Amino acid sequence: MDFDGKTAIVTGAARGIGRGIALELARRGSNVVIADVDEESAREVVAEIRAGGTMANYCETDVTQQWSTDEMVEAALEGYGQLDVLVNNAGIGGAPGFTTRRTPNVDDWQATFDVNVYGIVNGIQSVEKYMIDRGYGKIVNIASVAGRVGRPGFASYGASKAAAINVSQAWAFKLAPHGVNVNAVCPGLIWTPLWQSIGEWRGSTDEQYTGMTPRQVFQRSVSDIVPLGREQTAEDVGNAVAFLASDRARSITGQALNVDGGIRMN
């Protein structure tokens, strides 16, 4: 999967899964635009990519605002002359304090849909005209295994990720006649700042996790629900994204690929 000479945008790439995706695409030769609101962390990723011999730039981007994703695409085109791949990765679990609530409140619903759904829509709408005119493009949206089946607790997050899958399929139909592939990736259990917050909350409120560190809570969850018995990593997701963004996946569109160790087998 050769990405030499290609350019990719990865939203929410300052940390976690997005960082892993950006590093993997860069490792394969792609120029990468790190689009995020966290400038300090994003610039650290840019420096890491450049140290490996690949070009990278930071673009301050708020995916909830269409004008911001428009500027993101313009920055990529001005900086590199073309745009081949858009990875809509930016996502949140809820409004501030969401891990302390057993049931999501209205702010959680609004926040998750603003970023996890409208953020994808904004990104696609900003890039689709360019890709249609060019007759080529790869769009990969990061959903979640949580979007595969409804569960109580973080219902707003799961619903937003289900919507992300549906949005991916809708645009896959729309853009297929123009040579643009649109797919989603559904990660499983990955140790991220989000999971650390969840682990802290469960450790302090659920008797079965009493005395456990957030990491131990996470590992217990992996043991309980992942058939392969191991956690997934940002690199795992990066490899899946790189495949879907490559020409080896030219006949794949409208799919949601589970990268979850077998949690959902469909």
Q: Tell me the residue type at 200.
A: E
Q: Give the separation between CA 67 and CA 61, rounded to whole angstroms.
A: 9
Q: With CA atoms as reference, report the closest residue to 119 among 36, 49, 214, 227.
A: 36
Give SS3 for 7.
strand
* CB atoms closer than 10 angstroms to residue 247: 14
What is the phi/psi pair of residue 102, to 5°? -75, -25
Determine the Cα–Cα distance for residues 200 and 214; give it in Å rounded to an integer: 5
The one catalytic residue in 58, 80, 157, 209 is 157
Alpha-carbon span 96 to 236, nearest angstrom: 28
List the structure tokens of 14.
Answer: 């300052």
For this structure, is 157 an active site residue? yes
Strands 137-142 and 7-11: unpaired
Q: Which residues are catalytic?
A: 157
